[in-house]
Structure 1
């Protein structure tokens, strides 16, 4: 075979190999990625009366409270106000403390804490920063600014469940695009990420809710501001470097067996 023919053959083989690799050689293989499912968001700050009514209607009626078992319709709510000693003002609130409503919680830090004094026992300055929405208790992750929520059939210890939608009230969002609700499906895919609006009145409450047409949500991550609470941690409104945020009421559609 002549040298010229050998060069032509080698060139054709190289072109074929390059074509076979296609976009995958550069990581551009997203053409087949499924589009995000449609969702409805409810966000607000200040007077939340109308927005909260909108969210509750979106998640479903009635409020099923602590009724055991999967219900045919409705939603669940958690407001922390029934929590008492020994689970109050400690860093050891149980992850399954609201299993009766189908909720399992996990801090990305070292624990969970329910407070009846706006965390002023952690840092006295917090009394001026945070305010409960429903009297008189608030909630936070310990050692981090994030927590993950998963779901069970209400009252069941093992039966995994999914939900259509979730909402939460934040207290004291001072900096935009630092507090979020993230929704993930059963494959771990992020299907929605919604930022909490900044506070706009003296009470300082913000609402974020997101819902889908069907129960797609297997996990929710709540990101509360930019840092974790602590004896020396200052909120940005008190001269600190980061926005510190706590939580109050949770709202979620009826957990449905997977």
Structure 2
């Protein structure tokens, strides 16, 4: 029987930047499933990552409608631009907005003080200029014109549900577009299974625009922890020196599903095998 997890220190994947092919390095920490496939790209403008983003979208299938239930396949997306002004800066975004108001099977939370979507031009300062005026020159959206961030923290947890319900669900792929990643090995996605066991931590490449997507062989992901840079947005906190302020734009992920009973049995067997192996190593 092959091992479901393996420890990596560095993985190189190829991504497309405009017409050129560049080598993007994705640092991977912890026990990582062998079937985890990463794609990433970073660059100075939207064109630098557009091809990689579109390829990730295509690999997940048709874009599904924002309605309750599960389609069983295809993908969902969140680009923040449809969030009404009443739930945008300076007002906080409810964590269940994309499961209740606009059902897409996602619940959002943070160890910080709240979640925020940036204001539109003409309504308020764009790109989180309401938090600090310098941010209007720091961040830029991939899909105009709203962005997303945690408040009082640089961490967001994404939990998956059958859209429009409280039924916990799983996905097989998840990707994020980041704005203004300056420092390597700071902005990351950490994936967890139904037992809250880490499936690996993957780091986004640097760039004014940065994309990282990870796909697994089956729907095993119940939660993703997003770490954006190393510093939370706040008044008089600037993006300079060792402080890397990063915000998010589009989320792209495979349709959320509830595994068949047989899949649960296989997952449980795999977890027992991993626990047994760890116990033997500790003796």
- TM-score bin (small chain): 0.7 to 0.9
**Per-residue deviation, residues 211-233 of structure 1 (Å, max 9, x unmatched):** 10100101000000011101111
Q: 2:224 aligns with which of 200, 214, 220?
A: 220
In structure 2, distance between residues paired with 1:40 and 1:246: 24
Matched, 1:179 2:207: no
Q: Which residue does 2:201 correspond to in 1?
A: 193
Report the alpha carbon displacement of residue 161 of structure 1 after superposing the two structures with TM.
0.2
Q: Which residue does 2:156 correspond to in 1?
A: 147
In structure 2, distance between residues paired with 1:102 and 1:88: 20
Q: Which residue does 2:262 correspond to in 1?
A: none
Report the alpha carbon displacement of residue 194 of structure 1 after superposing the two structures with TM.
1.0
Structure 2: segments with no counterpart, 5+ residues: 6-31, 120-125, 260-283
**Per-residue deviation, residues 37-73 of structure 1 (Å, max 9, x unmatched):** 2111010012112101221123x21101303211031
What number of residue pairs does the alignment pair up? 217
**Per-residue deviation, residues 157-191 of structure 1 (Å, max 9, x unmatched):** x1110000100000000011110011111111111
Q: Which residue does 2:105 correspond to in 1?
A: 102
Report the alpha carbon displacement of residue 210 of structure 1 after superposing the two structures with TM.
0.2
Q: Which residue does 1:48 correspond to in 2?
A: 49
Q: 2:172 aligns with which of 156, 164, 171?
A: 164
In structure 2, distance between residues paired with 1:62 and 1:86: 30
Q: Which residue does 1:114 correspond to in 2?
A: 117
**TM-score, normalising length from structure 1?**
0.81
Matched, 1:125 2:134: yes
Asked which structure has the greater CA Rg, the reply is 1
**Per-residue deviation, residues 119-141 of structure 1 (Å, max 9, x unmatched):** 11111111111001101000000
Secondary structure class of the residue paired with 1:161: coil
Matched, 1:232 2:236: yes
Alignment RMSD, CA only? 1.3
In structure 1, distance between residues paired with 2:83 and 2:73: 26
**Residues 104 and 215 (structure 1 numbering): CA distance in 2 closer, same or farther, change over 3 Å?**
same
The answer to whether the 8 Å contact 1:91/1:112 transfers is: no
In structure 2, distance between residues paired with 1:52 and 1:34: 27
Secondary structure class of the residue paired with 2:135: helix
Q: Which runs of 4 or more aligned residues in structure 1 lie more than 4 Å from their structure 2 counterparts after TM superposition?
A: none
Structure 1: segments with no counterpart, 5+ residues: 1-32
Report the alpha carbon displacement of residue 34 of structure 1 after superposing the two structures with TM.
5.3
In structure 2, distance between residues paired with 1:85 and 1:126: 19
**TM-score, normalising length from structure 2?**
0.74
Matched, 1:256 2:257: yes
**Per-residue deviation, residues 195-214 of structure 1 (Å, max 9, x unmatched):** 11111xxxx11000001010
Q: Which moved more, 1:103-112 or 1:47-56?
A: 47-56
In structure 2, distance between residues paired with 1:133 and 1:224: 16
In structure 1, distance between residues paired with 2:248 and 2:172: 21
